[in-house]
C-alpha cells in the first residue's frame, strides 16, 4: 500500500524547480485540450505563449497586465508567510480603485488644473488608504472577535463589488453617458503618466518593481519582517520569543490591503480612465496563484506575475485568432495551481510502499 512519508530535508533546488515542472505539466494539458477541441496544438500554443512577447507593444501590454498582479501578490506573499490568510485582495483592490477614482472625479468635476506627476502621489495615497481601510476590517474582526480572516476577507469582496456597482449606477454615474453604468472620463491631469508615447504602459509598472525590491528588503533585512516570518513558520516559538502576533496580523493585513489598493488605483487611473462595474479582471484572486508560483518570494512574484499575465493576454489572443473558449485562460490557471500543489507535496513527502509485515509488526507493537 502506498503512503506519504515526510522527506528528511527537502532540497531548495526542488522547491524552485516546482513551478517549472508545473508549467511543463500545464503546457502538456494545454496541448491535449487544444487537440480535443480540434485546434492545431502548435499554432494554439504559439498564440497563447509566444504572441504576448511579439513586439514592443505586446511587451508593454504584458507589463500593464503584470502591474496589478505584482502589487497584489506582494502583499499576499507577506500575509501567507506570516500565516495570515488574506483571500480578499480583490475587494481591497476595488476599494482602492474607488478611492482613487473618487479623487480623479473630484479633480475632473472641479476642473482643477493638475500635472500628471503631481497626481501620482495623491492617487497612490488614496488607493493605499482605501485598500488598507478595507483590510483593517478583517484585522479588527480577527483581532477582537477571532473571526476567520479567510471568510471575512472573501465576503468583503462581494460588499466591495456592490459598493462599486451602487456608485456607478447611482451618484457617480455619468449624466452624459447614455445611461451606461460608468463614471465620466477623468481629466487629463488625473491620469497616470505613460512611459512611452502611444503605449498604455504607465509608470505604475516601475513603482510596482520598486515595491517588489522594497518588500524583499523588508522580509530579508528588516527585523520586523523576520519576526513575521518566524511567527508564520513556528507560532509557538514566536510567542516564546516574545514576538507580537497581534502586530504581525495588523502589519500583514494593512500592508497587503494598501498594496492591493494601490494596484486598484493604478488600474482605474491608468488604462481605464474611469470607473465601471468591471474595474478588476479578477486580479486579486489571480494574485493568489501568482504568490504561490513565486514561492512567496517578492522577486518570484514579479516572474509569476509576468507568467500569469502571459496566460491572460494569450487567452484573449487565442479567443480572437484561433476561436478558443474565453474560459480557457482560467482553466490553465487552475491546472497550474493544482500542478504546483502536487509538486510541492512530492517535494516535502515521498511515496513509500507499506508492506503487510511492517503493518502487522506496527499493530503488534
Q: What share of the chain is helix, strand, coil (3-state, %, to 5)?
A: 70, 5, 25
CA–CA separation, 344 vs 5, rounded Å? Answer: 13
Packed helices 149-169 and 89-109: angle between N→C axes, nearest 10 degrees: 30
- Per-residue pLDDT at 3: 75
- Per-residue pLDDT at 364: 44
C-alpha cell at 147: 473571526
- Per-residue pLDDT at 10: 62
- Per-residue pLDDT at 2: 66
- Per-residue pLDDT at 354: 67
CA–CA separation, 160 vs 90, rounded Å? Answer: 9
CB 163 within 8 A of CB 153: no
CB 163 within 8 A of CB 277: no
- Per-residue pLDDT at 356: 54
Task: Give Cα 313 distance to the centre of its chain.
Answer: 16
- Per-residue pLDDT at 235: 83
Q: What is the pLDDT along the chain (365 residues), one digit of tens a residue?
A: 667 677 766 666 677 788 889 999 999 999 999 999 899 999 999 999 999 999 999 999 999 999 999 999 999 999 999 999 999 999 999 999 999 999 999 999 988 888 999 999 999 999 999 999 999 999 999 999 999 999 999 999 999 999 999 999 999 999 998 999 999 999 999 999 999 999 999 999 999 999 999 999 999 999 999 899 888 888 888 888 888 889 999 999 999 999 999 999 999 999 999 999 999 989 999 999 999 999 999 999 999 999 999 999 999 999 888 888 888 888 999 999 999 988 887 777 776 776 654 444 444 44
Residues 6+ apart with CB under 8 A from 16: 295
DSSP reduced 3-state for 5: strand
CA–CA separation, 215 vs 81, rounded Å? Answer: 12
Residues 6+ apart with CB under 8 A from 206: 195
List the chain domain ranges.
Answer: 66-294
**Read out DSSP for 61-95?**
HHHHHHHHHHHHHHHHHHHHHTT-----HHHHHHH
DSSP reduced 3-state for 109: helix
CA–CA separation, 333 vs 170, rounded Å? Answer: 35
Amino acid at each position: 500500500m502506498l503512503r506519504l512519508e515526510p522527506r528528511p530535508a527537502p532540497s531548495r533546488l526542488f522547491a524552485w524547480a516546482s513551478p517549472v515542472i508545473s508549467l511543463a505539466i500545464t503546457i502538456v494539458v494545454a496541448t491535449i485540450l487544444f487537440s480535443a477541441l480540434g485546434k492545431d496544438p502548435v499554432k494554439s500554443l504559439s498564440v497563447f505563449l509566444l504572441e504576448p512577447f511579439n513586439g514592443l507593444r505586446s511587451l508593454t501590454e504584458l507589463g500593464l497586465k503584470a502591474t496589478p498582479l505584482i502589487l497584489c501578490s506582494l502583499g499576499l506573499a507577506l500575509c501567507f508567510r506570516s500565516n495570515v490568510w488574506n483571500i480578499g485582495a480583490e475587494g481591497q483592490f476595488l476599494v482602492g480603485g474607488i478611492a482613487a477614482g473618487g479623487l480623479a472625479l473630484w479633480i475632473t468635476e472641479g476642473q482643477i488644473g493638475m500635472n500628471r506627476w503631481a497626481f501620482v502621489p495623491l492617487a497612490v495615497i488614496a488607493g493605499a488608504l482605501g485598500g488598507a481601510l478595507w483590510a483593517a476590517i478583517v484585522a479588527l474582526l480577527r483581532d477582537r472577535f477571532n473571526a476567520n480572516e479567510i471568510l471575512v476577507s472573501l465576503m468583503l469582496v462581494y460588499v466591495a463589488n456592490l459598493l462599486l456597482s451602487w456608485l456607478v449606477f447611482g451618484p457617480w454615474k455619468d449624466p452624459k453617458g447614455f445611461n451606461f453604468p460608468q463614471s465620466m472620463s477623468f481629466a487629463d491631469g488625473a491620469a497616470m503618466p505613460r512611459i512611452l508615447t502611444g503605449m498604455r504602459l504607465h509608470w505604475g509598472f516601475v513603482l510596482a518593481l520598486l515595491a517588489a525590491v522594497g518588500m524583499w528588503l523588508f522580509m530579508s533585512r528588516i527585523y520586523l519582517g523576520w519576526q513575521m516570518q518566524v511567527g508564520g513558520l513556528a507560532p509557538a516559538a514566536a510567542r516564546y520569543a516574545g514576538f507580537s502576533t497581534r502586530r504581525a496580523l495588523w502589519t500583514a493585513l494593512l500592508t497587503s490591503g494598501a498594496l492591493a489598493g494601490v494596484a486598484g488605483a493604478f488600474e482605474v487611473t491608468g488604462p481605464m480612465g474611469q470607473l465601471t462595474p468591471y474595474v478588476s479582471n479578477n486580479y486579486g484572486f489571480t494574485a493568489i496563484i501568482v504568490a504561490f508560483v513565486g514561492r512567496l518570494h517578492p522577486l518570484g512574484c514579479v516572474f509569476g506575475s509576468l507568467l500569469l499575465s502571459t496566460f491572460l493576454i494569450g487567452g484573449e489572443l487565442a479567443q480572437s485568432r484561433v476561436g478558443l473558449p474565453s474560459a480557457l485562460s482560467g482553466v490553465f490557471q487552475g491546472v497550474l495551481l493544482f500542478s504546483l500543489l502536487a509538486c510541492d507535496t512530492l517535494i516535502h513527502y515521498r511515496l513509500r510502499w507499506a508492506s503487510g509485515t511492517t503493518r502487522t509488526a506496527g499493530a503488534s507493537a
